[in-house]
Amino acid sequence: MTRALVTGGAGFIGSHLCEALLDRGWSVVCVDDLSTGSRSNVGYLEELGGKRFHVVIEDLSAGEWESKAGEGGFDLVFHLASAASPPDYLAMPLQTLLVGSTGTWRAVEFAYQRGARFIFTSTSEVYGDPLVHPQNEGYWGNVNPIGPRSVYDEGKRFSEALTIARYRELGQSVGIARLFNTYGPRMRPGDGRVLSNFVEQALTGKPLTVYGDGSQTRSPCYVSDLVRGLIALSDSSLVGPVNLGNPHEVTVLELAHMVIEATGSSSTVEFMPLPEDDPKKRCPDIGLAMRELAWSPSVALRDGLVMFIEWMRARVDGVIG
Ligand code: UDP
């Protein structure tokens, strides 16, 4: 049996990753402080995994999770723990910086001590408000180091620097993935991110809150595609960084209309101020992932939206808690 530890395993992407690893017959330890993740995300996995799934509720940067993770070696450590929705990380700036520095330091050291390959989930936010389009891994980015978003962006950039330094100085096995906007079941309804907001708003008949004029672009990737990419990276010896995302780029206003159409909602669109430093364009160049990992996304935006809406509808209607 193979053994993995997933930080942030009770979060949106983390819980899907735990599920995929359990499906492969692996044994999985999930470390999460539930600050943005939830127990309900992993309840089903405790049934699915039985003794192969173990949840440790601890803060990655301050808690005593290493001793609670169990004795012995691990094959993989996936480090996902962090608030990821802008309103979430803007509400806890220092905690976000801590997990993006001390948290990563402890996670990568744990991987080294236990003999595991370390997979760091970085972000398209390292490109900031990009001046190169689409973004490839060679682009260094355009980040405001003291802007409000910097607590997330710079924590991820520091973590990339730390991960690559461990590879260079210690020869540690590492892989860095840069995740672009991802959506799907287990996002917290209305968590502040564009699709969880829009779908929740459309299903409850509220206006869809488009920030700015809605001309800014994003390229949403369905969560199952993203998780498949993370596993492909962990199976390889690629160091990266490597972009993981769906290059189908849409404006935020187009996205609002797609959601209204797909939900059959009578909601309208309400324009609101654009947040500070909001990137104007974002689209991944996935050439490297296609070449090195034989990976590309397969779920079309319209199909992913239908699956996500179905999941969200059951929560909003109160059918499922
Ligand atoms: N956005 C929006 N309405 C919302 C939430 C987000 O128009 O209710 C916009 C946001 O300004 C950004 C894009 O949608 O341009 C994606 O935002 P999100 O928070 O999902 O992720 P980001 O890519 O900014 O980290």
Question: pLDDT by residue (tens digit) across 130-188?
Answer: 999 999 999 999 999 999 999 999 999 999 999 999 999 999 999 999 999 999 999 99
Structure tokens at 249: 């780029």
Q: Is 193 part of a structural domain of the chain?
A: no
- Check residue 190 and give its pLDDT: 83
- Check residue 320 and give its pLDDT: 64
Q: Count the Cβ atoms, other than its own, within 10 Å of residue 37.
A: 25
Q: Is 28 part of a structural domain of the chain?
A: yes
- Check residue 252 and give its pLDDT: 98
Q: For the chain, give the mean pLDDT.
A: 96
Distance CA 198, CA 192 (A): 9
Q: Is 274 part of a structural domain of the chain?
A: no
Range of the domain at 118: 3-183+221-246+281-298
CA-201 nearest atom, ligand 1: 8
Q: Tell me, yes or no, if the pTM score tops 0.95.
A: yes
Say how many domains are in the chain.
Answer: 1
- 176 beta partners: 120
Percent of the chain with pLDDT over 90: 95
Q: Is 227 part of a structural domain of the chain?
A: yes
- Residue 319 — pLDDT band, cuts 50, 70, 90? low
Distance CA 185, CA 171 (A): 37
Q: Residue 262 C-alpha to ligand 1 middle, in angstroms?
A: 19
- Check residue 290 and give its pLDDT: 98
Q: Residue 123 C-alpha to ligand 1 middle, in angstroms?
A: 15
Q: Residue 311 C-alpha to ligand 1 middle, in angstroms?
A: 21
Structure tokens at 263: 């939900």
Q: Is 100 part of a structural domain of the chain?
A: yes
Question: What are the helix and strand counts (H, E) for the chain?
Answer: 12, 13
Distance CA 100, CA 132 (A): 25
Alpha helices in 182-276 (DSSP H): 194-203, 223-235, 252-263
- Check residue 154 and give its pLDDT: 97
Give, rounded to a whole angstrom, the gap between the first and last alpha carbons of the chain: 33
pLDDT tens figures, 244-282: 999 999 999 999 999 999 999 999 999 999 999 999 999
CATH code at position 287: 3.40.50.720
The verdict on the CB of residue 202 being under 6 Å from ligand 1 is no
Closest-CA residue, ligand 1 atom 17, reads: 194
Closest-CA residue, ligand 1 atom 19, reads: 193
Q: Is 253 part of a structural domain of the chain?
A: no
pLDDT tens figures, 65-106: 999 999 999 999 999 999 999 999 999 999 999 999 999 999
Burial of 113 (0-12, 13-18, 19+ CB in 10 A): exposed
| Interstrand relation of 76-79 and 53-57 (parallel, antiparallel or unpaired) | unpaired
- Check residue 303 and give its pLDDT: 98
- Check residue 321 and give its pLDDT: 54
Q: Is 272 part of a structural domain of the chain?
A: no
Q: Is 268 part of a structural domain of the chain?
A: no
The verdict on the CB of residue 242 being under 6 Å from ligand 1 is no
